[in-house]
Amino acid sequence: MTSRPRYLCLFAALLLACGCGRSELDTRYASLSPGSAEVSVNGLGVWSELLRRQGHQVRRTRKLTPTVFRRADCIVWFARQYTPPGPREVRWLDAWLSARPDRVLVVVLPDADMAWVYWDKAARRVPAGRRAALQAEKRRALADFRSLRPSSPGPITWPWFRFLPRPQSFPPQPAEALRGRSTWLQGVDASKAEVYVCGTLLPLAEPTAERFQVVDEEMELLAELLSDEDSVWLLEAEWLVDEEPVEQSVVLRCKQGLLALEQRRLDGRVLALVNGSFLLNLGLVNPENRKLAWALARELEACPTIYFVDSPAGLEIGGEKPFEYPSFVQLLTKPPVNHLLGHLLLLAVLVCCALWPQWGRPLEPPSEETTDFGRHVEALGRLLATSPTGSDWARRRLQQYRQLREEIGSGSVQNTARPKGTRSLLDSS
């Protein structure tokens, strides 16, 4: 990963972006959606970017599809619930593990929430006057986290492990005395790591002296394992589960219990983590947590294509039909062609309604009167306009009309009938 200042800047950016208002803090768990993967304190944007820089193809899926079955070399599932998957989903995963060697399934339980950690760290960096409000936000975040955890203290059996919630250990505390594989803890200062734990993983079956075969040389821990289930110290071991040999080994452990287990299943591996507190965005601000994240990334070096299952409701199996080229008729009935044809048909109907039918009572067109004298005047005007001497002739006739009008007005001219054969003023001279 990049240098330490980059992660300090990341934490500062989270503080500035989230502010001090509860409604402004993005807490979406295991988010890989654009806009939230890098901003959410519980997002996976930083770790997914780490895998990309290692050369992996990181993809996101909501269902277990045939494409995932063919292409995925590793499936990473950050569970959103404590309920284990159903038999159908487990059979799908077993078939996927056995289809090609060296496939890896990473299962991360949702027993982590970095929202309360954010408010706790923010409260330590503000003046005393504002500390009470941030402590109240921390208590709200812890209450929300507690409401999502199992209420029963008994273990929950998953196909690859058992989970013991241990509600008496709430709120989560940093893991103490980290131990495990040297490849995971090389260069890690366990006293500075911030892996918050309140539950623990357990092996699938109750270990007994007959079924538990110690491979590691630390014999003194065997008595502690068999006497106190709540503080499990599991060694490299192999026992029978469902009458089939299952090799399961501890990857990471602490004083509070088991943090990570690995199970050899069929031709692949299953890595189980009690929580992802060291893989989430806020957890990766800690340098020691980044080393643990690097260790998990090294476990996936042989997996070129990694699929993250982003399914809040749990694992779902989705089918994919093989692609077939549609016929011409099928093409017309599929979007977006059918939508375009529908709009064109509607437009054609509107045009027909606007142009062809006559709605309402028919209107009678105005009749043309043949005795209109105004039409005679207009025709005479058009005739005079085409004559070269028409303007002079019109002036003379207008002058005669005005003179005759004055004479009629003065009474010097009698209004008598015109003798037959005489010409009017409008006749041509």
| DSSP per-residue codes, 213-275 | EE-SS-THHHHHHHH-TTS----SEEEEETTEEEEEEEEEEETTEEEEEEEEETTEEEEEES-
Distance of CA 217 to CAs 119, 222, 236, Å? 44, 10, 9
Question: What's the rounded Cα separation, in Å, for the pair 100 and 268?
Answer: 8
Q: What is the pLDDT of residue 154?
A: 86
Instruction: Give the amino acid at 199.
Output: G
Q: What is the pLDDT of residue 77?
A: 95
211: CB partners within 8 A, 6+ apart: 205, 239, 240
Using DSSP's 3-state secondary structure scheme, residue 78 falls into strand
Q: What is the pLDDT of residue 213?
A: 39
Q: What is the pLDDT of residue 319?
A: 73
Taking a C-beta distance cutoff of 8 angstroms, is the pair 197, 172 a contact?
yes
Taking a C-beta distance cutoff of 8 angstroms, is the pair 308, 61 a contact?
yes
Sign of CA dihedral 43, 47, 50, 56: negative
- Spell out where 46-130 has E strands: 57-61, 74-78, 104-108
Which H or E run contains 45?
Answer: helix 45-53
Pairing of strands 244-254, 237-241: antiparallel
Return per-residue pLDDT of the chain as tens, 429 residues: 444 444 444 544 444 444 444 447 888 888 888 777 888 898 999 999 999 999 999 999 999 999 999 999 999 999 999 999 999 999 999 999 999 999 999 999 999 999 999 999 999 888 888 889 999 999 999 999 998 898 887 899 999 999 998 887 788 889 998 999 999 998 999 889 999 998 999 988 644 333 333 333 333 433 443 344 333 333 333 333 333 456 788 999 999 899 999 998 888 999 999 999 999 999 999 999 999 999 999 999 999 999 999 888 889 888 755 545 667 787 788 788 888 989 999 999 888 887 776 666 777 777 666 667 777 777 777 777 777 776 777 778 778 878 887 877 776 655 555 545 545 544 544
Which H or E run contains 90?
Answer: helix 87-99
Is this prediction's pTM over 0.75?
A: no
Q: What are phi and psi of 306, to 5 degrees?
A: -120, 130
Q: What is the pLDDT of residue 243?
A: 39
